[in-house]
Structure 1
């Protein structure tokens, strides 16, 4: 990195909320305020919209930060120290197909960005684009670090890591869930320590301590009483339909012994047990949360303005994502622990070596260093193995363009298999391949396996 500060490239910078949150986070660290922040998007006008809000923040803080809005990826990456990918290939149009076609077959997804038909098809669309970024970085800025936020995290990072890219996948589910558990238990978050490992959106809190006290037994007791037995009132945040309804995660904890990352709304679509029928969904999640509806009603200009307004009222504050602290640690040498998604290679001893896993990582001036975890409790590992099997097939499908692998991945998805027969699954997959063909150039001729 130069003495003038790092060159940080955000790829997909025209999107809703997240690019602007990343800009704010970067500006919240004094050592990063001399950065050049490069905002690249295939939709240049949307990147310019983010740039306008970013310049408001810079002016507000009287900061020396520079903003650039290049028109090509290669121009954006020239001289980059870090690239952050946040794009969604196909946008809301593709996302709607991911959700609505499976829904016609009784497969009701909440988010559809991790597993299931929606998560797998999002991966099929995203893997080629992410690998294109990584290949360009290998040529133009080979020493740069790639921080990926694009979902499905495990599928995307697994496929891109096969290029030997310097890639770390980042998510907020570990820090979000650990903060939630501290609230549930009534302990100060800054006094909590924990260990968490698994795969993205299903990593397991196998240690959770307040001082010398092991809080795992208390988590089991409190979460069961509050969210399954309902003998204890919900927290005051019970108006938050995304966070407060935790019967799904609590039942998974009772199955495995440990609480995991990601909300019950999201986790319910990963497994066979919670969304087979409308009645079952209602029993587990009595208030619906639908991310497609949220995305359709989103307004990037409005959300960017809200971030600027908050900064005017409260100062430029870090929002909790790991990207900016990682860059700050590399620039300043400050050691930190973050959680990242990386190639396993034995980090978790009882998960496949080639899989993408989420583990603690130590960050310092030399980069991001995954910390070996050990072995997961058997039931936790078994559930992760199911997900990894589907992810492996999806990665192979995305890279080869072999449609029969798409059929296999979706047929093995737990929710899909719980709801539909193989002939109907084949029919659904063929429809999705046809409907999304414009974003799937690697699938030139879908294979009829039905």
Structure 2
């Protein structure tokens, strides 16, 4: 039986969605699903959720739940990663400490100072996972959902280039879904392709029966003052291509918005939004636990269409499909740095995942992508070299941080975040974690 391991399965709502999507495929064999989490309470709820979804879908599962990561990984065919190192508490620190210094973020998990420090917390754990996989399941696919996506996939390419790593995110799908609703065409009748970096890819093809849909979108935005008050609409108007992440998240990739209260008001941005989202996620966990204890049904969403179940289904059954995936840039996008991690279309079939080379993307979009990849690349180098100055230089390159704070303020902010996250950070970077992060 195919063995599918969920790392960080205590993210029970996401685990529920992935399992629901997976078990909707009626041509899959009986699966061995292995749930792993370091939180016993969350792991128990994840196990109850898995049994509930299997019952609702009328499917048999060989189900295991364990706090032992190595036991979970032994013999795995697919490893789905959705860990959050430090949990909600660390996520709030990534937003609240910068805000106390005057630096606003909205989500803070992918780019900027929040993304950098989330990466620094996550890399040591990824290194351990990679080493375990090399020993226990060297042929398994590592399907990563954990942010910062580009940095984490890039780090895996550093510590375990032999592991088949794929970064998966639903941003492209939901962007096109929402745009199709806006212009009034069925999503399933459209052709769409995007490329760039995760959370800042550019929709370079979007058509319906051969008709380019961008003119319709431009006309709608030009005629609607309220649409013009959305961050993504502004980026589209200035850059010429639509970005593939929400307006709130897109705002923190650039210097244009969060440094200025007038811009925050004009574009209806909610700073520190992810604190509320994190609290909602905790509330959803408690609601799921209460529902399982009471024997009532959990809500199952049949419209999410997550990529990991599709990848697993295609590899196991040979069904061909095209998704968008985050992979190392090996000639896939000509005008982004080779060896960095980019988001491109990819064909998935029984032989695996085959990223599609797209050539050069629009130079104005690539210019913005290169800024983020510079932040990511400096973060990677900081951990490889054990150099805390490079951490601060990575944040200095970030457009949002550098447009708000002086260099001296950025250094002080990074000192404060290092102290707050010390238990998760390597000793070489000012933390207390005595763990090798790069193979000798």
Q: TM-score, normalised by structure 1?
A: 0.90
SS in 2 for 1:69: strand
Using the alignment, how far apart are the partners of 1:8 and 1:137 within structure 2? 13
In the alignment, structure 1 residue 364 sits paired with structure 2 residue 360: no
Q: Residue in 2 aligned with 1:96?
A: 92
Corresponding residue to 1:214 among 205, 212, 215? 212
Alignment of 1:244-393 (within 5 A): 247-285=230-268, 290-297=273-280, 298-299=282-283, 300-303=285-288, 317=302, 319-393=304-378
Name the CA shift for 1:294/1:314 in 2 (closer, same or farther; >3 Å).
closer
In the alignment, structure 1 residue 30 sits paired with structure 2 residue 26: yes
- Residue 277 of structure 1 deviates from its aligned partner by 2.9
Indicate if the aligned counterparts of 2:258 and 2:264 stay in contact, CA closer than 8 A.
yes
Corresponding residue to 2:49 among 49, 53, 61? 53
Q: Residue in 1 aligned with 2:436?
A: none
- Residue 138 of structure 1 deviates from its aligned partner by 1.2
Aligned residues: 426
Poorly superposed stretches of 4+, deviation over 6 Å: 304-309, 313-316
Using the alignment, how far apart are the partners of 1:380 and 1:157 within structure 2? 21
Using the alignment, how far apart are the partners of 2:39 and 2:142 within structure 1? 21
Using the alignment, how far apart are the partners of 1:306 and 1:150 within structure 2? 27
Using the alignment, how far apart are the partners of 1:375 and 1:316 within structure 2? 37
Indicate if the aligned counterparts of 1:49 and 1:301 stay in contact, CA closer than 8 A.
no
Unpaired runs of 5+ in structure 2?
A: 432-440
Corresponding residue to 1:84 among 61, 80, 97? 80
- Residue 289 of structure 1 deviates from its aligned partner by 7.0
Indicate if the aligned counterparts of 1:20 and 1:54 stay in contact, CA closer than 8 A.
yes
RMSD: 2.2
Indicate if the aligned counterparts of 1:396 and 1:405 stay in contact, CA closer than 8 A.
yes
Using the alignment, how far apart are the partners of 1:218 and 1:375 within structure 2? 25
Q: Residue in 2 aligned with 1:398?
A: 383
Q: Residue in 1 aligned with 2:102?
A: 106
Indicate if the aligned counterparts of 2:5 and 2:34 stay in contact, CA closer than 8 A.
yes
Using the alignment, how far apart are the partners of 1:291 and 1:66 within structure 2? 35
SS in 2 for 1:17: helix
Q: Residue in 2 aligned with 1:66?
A: 62
Q: Residue in 2 aligned with 1:238?
A: none
Using the alignment, how far apart are the partners of 1:296 and 1:349 within structure 2? 41
